[in-house]
Structure 1
Amino acid sequence: MKHFALIGAAGYIAPRHMAAIRATGNELVAALDPNDSVGIIDSHFPEAHFFTEFERFDRHVDKLRRANSGGAIDYMSICSPNYLHDSHMRFGLRSGCDVICEKPLVLNPWNIDGLAAIEKDTGHKVNTILQLRVHPSIIALREKVQAVPTDAKFDVDLTYITSRGRWYLQSWKGDVRKSGGIATNIGVHFFDMLHYLFGDLQANTVYVSGDAKAAGYLEYNRARVRWFMSLDIGDVPAELRDAGQRTFRSITVNGEEVEFSGGFTDLHNRSYEEILAGRGFGLEANRVAITTVSDIRNATPASLVGDYHPFIKGTAA
């Protein structure tokens, strides 16, 4: 049994981490969040110590590290807002823990270099949740891609619309300095998936860049990708919107839909299983996706010339 601490216990994604810690037969012993709406802990680890102040959490983690009773924390799971991931991972490593960080790992690629130096100094490791890499449908698609001659390029359309209410842009998620913007906050695991499937990135053009939607064109060694992401329910296809559907997710490869809507419920469990078995995805596995979203965030949108996603027409950033 491994001992875990968790930073960001009141967030949306934290319950998946708690469930994964429990499902893998381990124990959450301490959790931190400035928000005390964390009753979800009772469903998993009611005996866990909880803190709303970082300083008291820091003291508790240090006491456990120094104790001789074998209660030291083995893993620190990071579920805090995106802009705090870097700092919290550094804290975890320096506290003698391996780290499991929710996506996005960091906001900027140079942060990876700093974390690598601390890994070397401490002898501990950062793992990240790249859940689509363990999705059975994506693994099967990768095998198909690798079976095709390497000079063949696939044509891919990626569409991801997940409508959000007015609260979203008023929260830290709506602040590009804290979330990294829409492509980072809701899209980074898709960009990692594209790299995982199709190899190194060769070109990155942005056509739309706004608070609620973004779109562009990516070219990889093995694929040409048109992508579109939005938080606006008005971008959900009308027939689905009229039926009450608020989200739309589609990936087509050479015109054929990739079905991967199922199998999402246990991806964090599977990610934790892989990490605990020593097969986690480390810092360098994140570099291409983090560089991709950083470049998207800082790009000046190009005029609509060339190959772009059909959903761009008639939409406003």
Structure 2
Amino acid sequence: MKQTTFSTAGFDRYAKTTKRAAFLAEMDAVIPWAALCGLVEPFYPKGETGRRPFGVERMLRIYCLQQWFNLSDPAAEEALYDSLSMRRFVGIDLGREPVPDETTICRFRHLLEAHDFGRRMFEFIHEHLEAKGLRLSSGTIVDATIIHAPSSTKNEDKARDPEMHQTKKGNQWYFGMKAHFGVDRRRKVIHSVVATAANVHDSAVLGDLLHGEERDVWGDQAYQGQSEVIKEKAPNARDRTNRRYRKCGVVNEAERARNRKKSKVRSRVEHVIGVIKLKFGFTKVRYRGLEKNANRLFATCGLANLYILRHQFRAA
């Protein structure tokens, strides 16, 4: 343990624990740092040549801050200089050392992307939760949401991102990628994620969102007519997706009532999407290309699962 310097010693007479500090304290308690660092250490530089690298856990904590607060590489450096609670979370004492610069943060992120760390992190957290007794139930809710991408051509290539596409929802056109989720009905955690271009229909990846042991599958009307796919992937599952109740201008009130009853369960997936898009701010892609943004999506979903189950996890 290092002795605290005057840069971190508070002399404020009046202080209050902010929401940010409380959030970081909760997440610090539930994240298995040692195990996650073990996933990075095999390909992390050992410092045999060049500058001595920062610690793996310290860089991994900065990476998590980027996902939680939607920070770019330069913004992460600025935020660490500006926020005492963030520096305490990372373990940086400005009286002894500087904050890693944006180039160092960027290189670490590229290193994780090159080794598909986001997917590995998501899968490990899923296994970690099951090891703690937080197992999945027998029902899955499927849904998809659009993550916007810049549609402007004012860039070096004078073109939009070729891996992103546009789609029409209602009377509005959207450009970007689409995140598909398979969410546990009882725990409200994500167990399956697929990233595609925005023009891929929701039902096209339904089979990849099921783990095979379901007894019920819920979804909105976009998944209507996929009973054969559900039966093939999860033989014991019942198709509880919503049905279209309006035909030729005539409303089937009985089918409408059944949809309303199903939606009481199906709406739980919106809580999970709300954590990713509203709590963590992942409403727009930050990088060019589908692979980098998919890596961020997997990492964000893993952290979102820990956030959703943080109270149950600590009790377990």
Smaller-chain TM-score bracket: under 0.3
- TM (norm. structure 1) is 0.27
Which structure has greater strand proportion? 1
